[in-house]
Chains A and B, each alone.
Chain A
Amino acid sequence: MRWGMLIDLRTCIGCHACSVACKAEFDVPLGVVRDTVKYVEEPTASSVTRHFIPVLCNHCTDAPCLNACPTSAITRKPTGEVVIDEGDCNLNRFCMSACPYGAIYEDPEREVAQKCNFCEHRTAEGLEPACVTACPTNCRIFGDLDDPESDIAQRAAANETTVWKPEAGTQPNVLYIDPRNAIPLIADQGVQVDTDADLPGS
């Protein structure tokens, strides 16, 4: 069994219902995110196209964060998702330095490293992650990538899929249907929101 997520960029409308649901589900502090949507403009000769690209932890098969963590606080569950055990984390931040996606942040309130865990508390009860449930266009499909009968596996087989930053060699389990080739436009970005545009005092 291998939990994964397939995101269809043809139907993402950038509403941020997913990122709001994630924030609410885990009470994620201000300034950091587990899941967000990148807005990327792509100019052409006569117009500009805006792409909406949801990003989150990719729960990589070859996870650099898991390899890097010296306290084994980061582990892989039998269902494949990569999770952080708060009790064993001493915030050495090697995982943050190793993750090429910027998926891991330092939670200032809980004083541990945190990231998306595919809502393991929900999936353990047979529910889908909060972001999947919240999406109004059903652009996120969650399921077992190793089950050929699952919706996600069938959709992945029927469409050409890609991953974020394939050159990192991490074998992500978050796949994208990206016919307009928008993913390379965020090759130099990470999950954590760039706060340079914030107003003073925010």
Chain B
Amino acid sequence: MLAAPLPQPPWGLLIGLYFIVVGLPTGLTLMTAYLGPGPGEQRRSVERRATATSLAVLGLASVLLVVDLHRPERFFLMVTEFGNLGSPISVGAKLIAIKVLLLAVALYFLRRRGKPAPGLTSWAVRGLTAALLVVSVALTFYPVSVLSFTWSSPLARTNGAYLVFLVTTLLMGAAGLLILIGLRTGPPEVDRLVRRAGLALAGLQLAGVVFEGWSLTADPAVPAGTLHRVLAGDYAGLFWTSIASVGFGAALLAPRTGRGRGRIAAGVLLLTGAALTRYLFFTVR
């Protein structure tokens, strides 16, 4: 059993927020791909807003990363010296940079009302979509890959961790879409698709958490008593709040037709639950 070798963990709240925030743009991209292209300005509007939100939140995540550096003036090393491809942070920084570029290009195409630039074939557009998907899938697992390297996040070293991060990423994406749809009423078919995805992912979240709990008891590298501290100890409040948040969010999604406020509330609750679950992985020692 490996215990904490330092009096305080080297990373604090800023990096904790980073690991939460970086899930939203990834989830939005993946859920937008799940919706697929569709006719109509309303559909394209949802896609535009999701892409723009992804870009903005990814920028915020990058700012969090730079501000957290104890030598932020050396942030340029992320570009000039991040050559160690064995380091998940190095790979993640490159993936984020690539995704920012891809999102910017995608947003440009979307603002042209779906019309490709002169001379640009549909293959290029498909290539862009495929590249966004590949990078987003990689970014889904990047945070848990980083945390699994550390002694300060024993929850991240289990088999269940990767499943939980996949589900919370998708759940954050679905929640983000619900909020976007609720703010400006989206087309009914989008509402239906996102509602179904949200309910399914809420159920998967519960399954993922149960699997993670089993993984904690089965893994000898995890400090004894960790599961108890999550369920009934120091971290119980955080854990059960995340479960309740996802549960109430799913309950608000249950009606087949919903108003804007209902969708926004469901989205906020699901987003909060997914975020708190990810934060648990970061903060549980």
Q: Which residues of A line the B interface, CB within 8 A?
A: 64, 67-73, 88-94, 96-103, 106, 111-112, 165, 167-168, 187-192, 194-196
Contacts and interface: CB of A to CB of B under 8 A. Distances in A.
A111 B88 CA distance: 23
B151 A97 contact: yes
Interface of B: 1-7, 9-11, 68-72, 74-75, 77-78, 81-84, 86-90, 93, 146, 149-152, 221
B90 A64 contact: no
Contacts of B2: 100, 165, 167-168
Contacts of A111: 70-71
B69 A97 contact: no
B81 A71 contact: yes
A95 to B, nearest CB: 9
Contacts of A73: 81
Contact of B82 (A71, A89, A98, A187): A71
Contacts of A190: 4-6
Nearest to A99: B5
A90 B75 contact: yes
A72 B149 contact: no
Contacts of A69: 84, 87
B216 to A, nearest CB: 17
A118 B50 CA distance: 53
A103 B83 CA distance: 24
A98 B221 CA distance: 15
B11 A93 contact: yes
Contacts of B72: 90
B82 A70 contact: yes
Contact of A189 (B5, B10, B93, B149): B5
Given A90-B74, A106-B70, A194-B7, A72 B89 contact: no
Given A67-B87, A71-B84, A73-B81, 15 more contacts: A67-B86, A68-B87, A68-B88, A68-B149, A71-B77, A89-B71, A94-B87, A97-B11, A97-B149, A97-B151, A100-B2, A101-B5, A106-B10, A167-B1, A168-B2
Contacts, number: 102
A98 to B, nearest CB: 5
A73 B20 CA distance: 27
Nearest to A111: B71
Most buried by B among A92, A101, A165, A188: A92
B176 to A, nearest CB: 28
The majority secondary structure among interface residues of chain A is loop
Contacts of A72: 81, 83-84
Contacts of A194: 7
A169 to B, nearest CB: 10
The 7 closest A-B pairs by CB, nearest first: A190-B5, A102-B5, A91-B70, A90-B74, A70-B90, A188-B3, A97-B150
B150 A196 contact: no
B81 A88 contact: yes
Nearest to B7: A194
Contacts of A94: 87, 89, 146, 149-150
A97 B152 CA distance: 7
Contacts of A167: 1-2, 221
Contacts of B7: 192, 194-196
Given A93-B70, A97-B151, A111-B71, A191 B5 contact: yes
A90 B74 CA distance: 5
Contacts of A195: 7
Most buried by B among A93, A103, A191, A194: A93
A195 B83 CA distance: 36
A97 B9 contact: yes
Nearest to B92: A70
Nearest to B83: A72
